[in-house]
Structure formats: structure tokens, C-alpha cells
Amino acid sequence: SLFRLKDLEMAELGDSDVHVKMLAAPINPADINMIQGTYAILSPLPAVGGNEGVGEVLEVGRRVAALKPGDWVIPVGAGLGTWRTRGVFPEETLLKVPSDIPVLCAATLSVNPCTAYRMLTDFETLAPGDSVIQNAANSGVGQAVIQIAKASGIKTINVVRDRPDLPKLVERLMALGADHVVTEEMLRKPEMRDIFKSIPKPRLALNCVGGKSTTEMLRHLQPKGTLVTYGGMAKQPVMVPVSAFIFRDLRLRGFWMTQWRKDHAQEQESLASMMDALCQLIRRGQLTAPACTEVPLQDYKAALEASMKPFTSSKQILLL
């Protein structure tokens, strides 16, 4: 195994540092990819895993102004190493979040809901009544897209892989606010036309799969629509018929939350307004944490195994 549970010495608290007691941290696919070395960020080893989570401030260095003991914080960027009970981090690597939101919502806030929010905001100007199509709709990002879109009056067409417990999954996504849930196979069936009797064809498609299902999704996009790719779970390229470019002028774009944060590092406002919007949705009960299984840190091996199983519909969250 690549993992060990280790006791480390706590670093000294510097003037601009913050001593944090971690509360909860999820296991995301990107965390696993980073450890396997198949991600765009490589941590020098040995490293602490985990890019997301929430902690409580215990103590701050004397130059730290924006945080105080008792505050809740989440990582600003990737690579913080959240799978630990305590840590000393530079102040600028942390972002204060309200402590009146559920701990699992805070623990899963910095990656998936932010990705969903940006993709719904930055590529097409969507108005109430417009529609979006996405694959892997039961992923963490997918569940956030459904809920954020619903709160803005945007219709979602959600593509999932066929599976043994499909009716249960469909029911769960509908309960989150999905308008339509279809399997990859249904994308090429005439029944898709019935969906577009009641809602317009999507202007935006969100892809984290690749391969055939993505090509099928593209066929339903409006002319001049945009496909945004933010993952490639099928490990196959995105194939686009030439006609889609020539006759429908479709746009293909990419999105990576880590890059967005780098590009907007100097604009506190854009980050703050996004976090405010997401926390408001959480407070109103319009954005919930994904289905979670809470696992004590010492059972991390079981949690990692569970997170790598196919058709996993529950996110493993380490309780620290």
C-alpha cells in the first residue's frame, strides 16, 4: 500500500501561521490520482494526502489578522494535505467559512460545489428556463450542478451509467432537483425528443467522462453551444464529428478549479462572492453535502478501497 498512518512532530507556529485542528476531510478521485502520480500536481514525497476538508482554528501567529481561534477554515488551493488530525499552515493557504453550516457541507465545499458553480457561470449566460446536460451526474460535482441549477431555475438533463440499482439512483437525483435522468444508452434513443418538447435544448454540456457518451451528449447541444470538459473518467478522448464544428459551431472548452484559483488569486471579490453564494444556498437547504459515509481516520484503508470501487454512490469522509 502507498499509505501509512504516521505520527508527525507539529511544526512551530510562525508569525503568519495558523494551527488548525482538522474536523473532516473527504476522499476525492483527484486525491487518488495525485497519489498515483497521474495528476497535474505532484507532491514531493513523503506527503500528506487530501486536498479538501474543514478544520477549526486553535491558535494563530501574531501577524494573523483575518483568523481567530474557533473559526472554521478550508484550504484555498490544492495540495494542503488534509488527511491529518492537526496541522500548522500559512494564513494565506486557508479560507474562513461560516461555522453555522453543517460540517460535511464545509468539508466538501472547496472542490466540487466551486467547480459546479464556476462551470454554470463562466461559459454560457444561462437564464431561468434554460437547460444544461451533464454526464456522471451522480458525482460530487454532478450533485452540486443539479442543486445550484435548480436554485437558479435552470433545467438539468443528467446522464448516468446503467447500473443494478438504477431506479434508486434516479430517485435520489430527482430528489436533489434533477429534471431528467437518462442512461448513456438512452442518449441515442428517439425518446430524447420527448424531453425537448418541454424544455429547450441545452446550451451547455458538462463532461467528466469522455469517449462515446460525450459524443452522444454533444448531439443534443444547441448550435453555438459549449461543451466543458473537467474530467476524463473513461480515459478516452472526446471525439467530435466535423459537422458539429462546421454546421453547429460548437465550442469545446476545459475547466480546472486549481487553475481558476491561480488565475483569480489577486481578486478576493470573485472568490468571496462565490463562497457567499454557495454558503447562502447551504443555509437555505438548497445545496447539501453529497451522500457521505463517515469513516474514522484509523479505518482509512477501508475508506480508500471503498472510494475506488466502481459505481460508488457515497463519498468517503474521514472524521479527524
pLDDT of residue 38: 67
The amino acid sitting at 229 is: T
Digit-coded pLDDT (tens) for 95-136? 999 999 999 999 999 999 999 999 999 999 999 999 999 999
- Sequence-separated (6 or more) residues with CB below 8 Å from residue 153: 127, 128, 129
The amino acid sitting at 261 is: R
d(CA 154, CA 159): 16
Q: Please report the DSSP string for 169-198 in residue order.
A: HHHHHHHHT-SEEEETGGGGSTTHHHHHHH
pLDDT of residue 312: 67
Say if residue 219's pLDDT is above 70: yes
Neighbours of 44 (CB within 10 A): 5
Going by the DSSP 8-state scheme, the letter that residue 39 receives in this structure is S
Digit-coded pLDDT (tens) for 275-304? 999 999 999 999 999 888 899 888 888 888
Say if residue 313's pLDDT is above 80: no
- Sequence-separated (6 or more) residues with CB below 8 Å from residue 303: 27, 293, 295, 316, 318
Digit-coded pLDDT (tens) for 142-196? 999 999 999 999 999 999 999 988 999 999 999 999 999 999 999 999 989 999 9
d(CA 209, CA 180): 19
The domains of the chain, with CATH numbers, are 17-108+289-319 (3.90.180.10), 111-257 (3.40.50.720)
pLDDT of residue 168: 94
Tell me if 124 sits within 8 A of 226, measured CB to CB.
yes
* Cis peptide preceding 46, ω within 30 of 0: yes
pTM: 0.90
- Sequence-separated (6 or more) residues with CB below 8 Å from residue 244: 218, 219, 250
- Is 39 among the residues known to form the active site? yes
Instruction: With CA atoms as reference, report the closest residue to 97 among 73, 64, 113.
Output: 73
**Which residue matches cell numbers 469513516?**
295
Provide the mean pLDDT of the chain.
92
Q: For CA atoms 71, 85, 262, 27, give the dihedral sign.
A: negative
Instruction: With CA atoms as reference, report the closest residue to 188 among 162, 220, 161.
Output: 220
